[in-house]
Amino acid sequence: MLSYLHAFHAGNYADVQKHAALTLALTMMQAKQSPIACFDTHAGSALYDLTSERARKTAEADGGIHRLWRVRQSLASADWQLMLDTLSRHTVDGSQLQSYPGSPAWLAELARPGDAVTAFELHPSEGRSLETWAVGAGVRVMQQDGLQGLLKRLPPAQPRLLTLIDPSYEIKDDYAQVADTLVRAWQKCRHGVYLIWYPILTSGLEKRLIDALEQGSVRKILRSEVMLDEPPERGMVGSGMLVVNPPWGFESRFEAMMKDLQGSARLGLTASQTWLVPE
């Protein structure tokens, strides 16, 4: 069962949080010269038209990247600049955003010649769009299960590892599977940086992932959450990121970025950050 299409959600507040974490982690890792293997286990189709029928149907980007773009000049953290510079190339005349890069496009944008980017996508039509986009982007596309695919490729040939795990959580079992995959991946590559996105739901289903990791063996897990100040009665009320082995200094820089999203004049979110599991 694969019915989720990210085009309905691209550029929402969860993407803002997720791609801020991804771009900050990768650029901080690139402070050292050694090559990085980047894996995107649930890649989507890479590039999203914000004017498409799908995007306009939910208008989720209005509460996310469009709002960030409107307030871009008042953001306190200098770490937004990299995302903003990239986004400026997704406007028609430098003002209105027309398209939004998904996670493989952010990775392709930032990867250096020695870094390797591998993107997994299981949905047939999303996988085909991803393949078409990837021609010339320097990204290896694998149309297969991202969690199993990741485990098969660890440890990577490159000395360092960055992994984004961003499932659609269409199946309740996904939460336990993500926790299990992280443990197995970490056993194969303990120094890797792993970013895991999860929705915060009124049903509380995401606690399956959080509880499993809190009681598990993986160390050094930073937990960031942004909650909607005006949440819906049911469904997704916030967005969470877990960052295993964040680069040194990431904690305070990412916290500052998330603080920029707070309040009704910004993205209408309240941000919090703690260590789910310390070192």
Catalytic residue among 40, 79, 166, 260: 166
Contacts of 115 (CB under 8 A, 6+ apart): 30, 35, 36, 37, 38, 158
Binding of residue 151 to ligand SAM (CB under 6 A): no
- 211 classed as catalytic: no
What is the β-pairing status of strands 269-277 and 236-244?
A: unpaired
Of the pair 1, 31, the CB lying nearest ligand SAM is at 1
- Interacting residues with ligand SAM between 210 and 269 (CB under 6 A): none
Tell which residue, 40, 27, 20, 25, has the closest CA to residue 112.
27
Residue range at the interface with ligand SAM (CB under 6 A); choices 39-47, 89-97, 200-208, 238-246: 39-47
Binding of residue 18 to ligand SAM (CB under 6 A): yes
Residue range at the interface with ligand SAM (CB under 6 A); choices 131-139, 163-171, 225-233, 238-246: 163-171
Residue 173 sits at φ, ψ, to 5 deg, of -70, -15
- The span from the CA of 60 to the CA of 37, in Å, is 31
Residues constituting the chain: 279
Contacts of 79 (CB under 8 A, 6+ apart): 20, 24, 253, 254, 256, 257
Could you give the 3-state DSSP secondary structure of residue 139? strand
- The span from the CA of 268 to the CA of 265, in Å, is 7
Binding of residue 146 to ligand SAM (CB under 6 A): yes
Structure tokens at 255: 């916290």
Residue from 12, 99, 103, 163 in contact with ligand SAM (CB under 6 A): 103
Structure tokens at 102: 């998904």
Residue from 122, 150, 178, 269 in contact with ligand SAM (CB under 6 A): 122
Residue range at the interface with ligand SAM (CB under 6 A); choices 58-66, 83-91, 115-123, 208-216: 115-123
Binding of residue 64 to ligand SAM (CB under 6 A): no
Residue numbers at the binding site for ligand SAM (CB under 6 A): 2, 4, 6, 15, 18, 42-44, 102-103, 120-123, 126, 145-146, 166-168
Task: Please identify every residue annotated as catalytic.
Answer: 166
